[in-house]
């Protein structure tokens, strides 16, 4: 009698198992480009099962394999490729706007100019700012950047915060308006304005899904401590 090893007892998946494929795609959406090994561990699937689903998603044009970013701490050997969602893959999660939305903004741009589009974009993100304030009031212990990420996530952006050498990075794995923002960057500009306003500092957009990047990334610089600020003033 043969006994299965603990690894082989893990949940496997068939190529026609659409719900599991959706789990794989959603994991990439929410947590960013990932290797097959990482997905297998995260979703409790065998590596073979994940690779079958990735092959299927790749054939559909929903995911694409990419070379990983260069990492100074990388070990020996060729690094495993990461899999990222394509625009087709993102469309599965209700990201695309109807042609009506694009046509309406085109009409607004033609009749009112770019400034009218920007004003519309600013009014659109007022809801985000309001939700941020509510989260801060409900949980004042939260770091502002974390509260902002939560407000974005509730709005469908799958956002998170990670540390960086110069402060923090706000990462949005999903953008519900990516297709529209590709033609009307005012939508991204208005979001960036809100980020800076609620965090009380200048922030900088490093990448956007609307313009072909895998993740919308915003740099949140570290706030100088009072001691370092005083030191800088005394040296003038």
For 125-155, the pLDDT digits (tens) are 999 999 999 999 999 999 999 999 999 998 8
What CATH topology corresponds to 18-91? Arc Repressor Mutant, subunit A (1.10.10)
Rounded to 10 deg, the angle between the 126-138 and 186-199 helix axes is 30
Q: Rounded to an integer, what distance in angstroms lies between the CA atom of residue 119 and that of residue 150? A: 25
What pLDDT was estimated at residue 26?
87
Q: pTM for the whole thing? A: 0.62
Question: For residue 18, is pLDDT > 90?
Answer: no
Question: Residue 5: which pLDDT band, with cuts at 50, 70 and 90?
Answer: very low
Choice between 213 and 76, residue whose per-residue pLDDT is larger: 213
The SS3 of residue 166 is coil
Q: Rounded to an integer, what distance in angstroms lies between the CA atom of residue 42 and that of residue 33? A: 13
Question: Residue 195: which pLDDT band, with cuts at 50, 70 and 90?
Answer: very high
CA geometry: angle at 77 spanning 72 and 79, to 5°?
65
Mean pLDDT, residues 220-231 taken together: 59
What pLDDT was estimated at residue 43?
93
E-strand stretches of 10-75:
63-66
Q: Which CATH number fits domain 99-221: 3.90.1520.10, 3.50.30.40, 1.10.10.2160, 3.30.1330.10?
A: 3.90.1520.10
Say which residues have a Cβ less than 8 Å from residue 193's Cβ, sequence separation at least 6: 122, 125
Choice between 52 and 15, residue whose per-residue pLDDT is larger: 52
Contact between residue 215 and residue 171 where contact means Cβ atoms under 8 Å apart: yes
Mean pLDDT, residues 99-110 taken together: 88
Domain range list for the chain: 18-91, 99-221
């Amino acid at each position: 009698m043969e006994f299965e090893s603990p690894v082989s007892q893990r949940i496997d998946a068939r190529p026609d198992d659409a719900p599991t494929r959706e789990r794989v795609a959603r994991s990439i959406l929410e947590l960013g480009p990932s290797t097959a090994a990482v997905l297998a561990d995260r979703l409790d699937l065998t590596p073979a099962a994940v690779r079958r689903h990735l092959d299927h998603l790749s054939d559909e044009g929903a995911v694409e394999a990419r070379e990983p970013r260069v990492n100074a701490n990388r070990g020996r050997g060729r690094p495993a490729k990461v899999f990222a969602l394509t625009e087709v893959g993102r469309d599965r999660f209700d990201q695309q706007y109807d042609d009506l939305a694009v046509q309406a903004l085109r009409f607004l741009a033609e009749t009112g100019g770019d400034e009218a589009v920007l004003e519309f974009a600013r009014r659109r993100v007022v809801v985000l700012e309001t939700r941020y304030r509510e989260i801060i009031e409900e949980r004042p212990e939260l770091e502002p950047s974390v509260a902002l990420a939560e407000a974005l996530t509730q709005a469908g952006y799958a956002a998170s915060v990670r540390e960086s050498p110069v402060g923090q990075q706000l990462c949005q794995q999903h953008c519900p308006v990516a297709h529209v923002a590709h033609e009307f960057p005012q939508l991204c500009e208005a979001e960036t304005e809100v980020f800076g306003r609620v965090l009380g500092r200048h922030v900088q957009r490093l990448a956007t899904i609307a313009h072909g990047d895998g993740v919308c990334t915003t740099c949140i610089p570290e706030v100088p401590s009072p001691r370092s600020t005083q030191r800088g003033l005394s040296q003038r």
